[in-house]
Amino acid sequence: IDSLLRQDTIAHLTTKALIDTALDLRLYRRADLFASKFYAFGGPERFAEARFLHACETITKVVKRKQPQIIEKQIARIDECVERVRIDLNLSDVGEHKIGIGEVPIETMPEYIREFALRRLRTSNMSAAALRLANLWGMNYEEDPAILAEEEKRRQLTYVQWNDEGSPGNIGGKSQPLPDLVSDAVDLRGEFKVLLQSGETVGFDAEWGEDNGVAVLQLSTVSHSILIDIPALSSNDEGCKALQATVGQLFAGLTSARYVIGFGCKEDIKRLRDSPCSRSVHWFPHNNCAARDLRPLIAEATPSLGGRGGQHLGLSRSTESFLGKQLDKAEQCSDWCQRPLSTEQREYAALDAWACAAIHAKISKIFDQRYKV
């Protein structure tokens, strides 16, 4: 790789901003295209991140379409990408460095993408395809309950679980069920009231499909989470009134919540504003918004984490740093417009919003210690 990669010219900065914007918008195919075509300007780390997320998205789609033969090509593209990046970054040994701008370090991408593909196939009851690919990759693929239980145990040690101590699913040692998707106006008002009573900091995240609006909005304090079906509620007058009285008031700063916290949430806010509304006045505030971005707060609290301004910081890594475990981002590329949501989707969605509130609580303690008089 030539010396261009070490320069901060206008071309480099523009290309990096272009790729980062595509990643933030979850336009992974386009980000991959930009990062590949302008590799010398965007750099190897952005190239790896875009290629990896594009592969996850593609694998999710082809499994849903029952086209597992396409998976092999996606795996090969990741292997080629990682090998190129290892050479360009002079990574002498896989596992020696934890390099990457995204949630999954570059050196673990080949292993992660294979496991991701096998999990997707297993969930879709495509065991024959999963077994063939596992044999091709020299991996064990078992459906034995004992082996699956051991695999799940390993995942529980690595990733935050809904019923981990301190999570919303385990309050004071008492198990709590995963939240259902709220699609009724009365239910939304009731759940929102409980949410505000459970804490002064509300974390949020949003998931969407190919349309402009939000498919699922997640809100969570450190002890209570709700999942909101935006398309269902915004399709009728009563639902829009409930959204305005709850979500709209929250993001306008007109509730008892002291903080409304998202992570890299600019696109989430935009898509909430672009979501449908059956009334003439939209339920989401179009001017002032009370939401704050957690990313720069993390960068201020721990400057060594995520680069300047937290620009290379992901929520999964932040969760690992502050809460001791990573967030499993496997469901990020799933179909959020489908109904009903899977159990895995509901857990991922709830924990994404919860992590924002839980990390903010940790950061608040850091700031209290640092700036106390």
Amino acid at position 105, single letter = P
What distance lies between CA 223 and its chain's CA centroid? 20
Residue 99, number of CB atoms within 10 A of its CB: 15
The pTM assigned to this predicted structure is 0.81
- Closest by alpha carbon to 289, among 229, 249, 244? 249
**Residue 45 has which token pair?**
């780390």
Which range, 6-20, 138-152, 341-355, has the best average confidence (pLDDT)? 341-355
What are the residues whose beta carbons fall under 8 Å from the beta carbon of 123, sequence distance 6 or more?
342, 344
- Segment 96-117 shows an average pLDDT of 78
Structure tokens at 19: 């790729």
**Is pLDDT of 361 > 90?**
yes
Q: Which residues of 317-335 are buried (b: 16+ CB within 10 A; e: fewer)?
A: bbbbbbbebbbbbbbbbbb
pLDDT surpasses 50 at 96: no
CA–chain centroid gap for 291, Å, is: 18
Instruction: Return d(Cα 141, Cα 115) in angstroms, integer.
Output: 10
Strand partners, 293: 262
Query: Higher pLDDT residue, 162 or 8?
Result: 162
Give per-residue pLDDT as tens, 161-171. 999 999 999 98
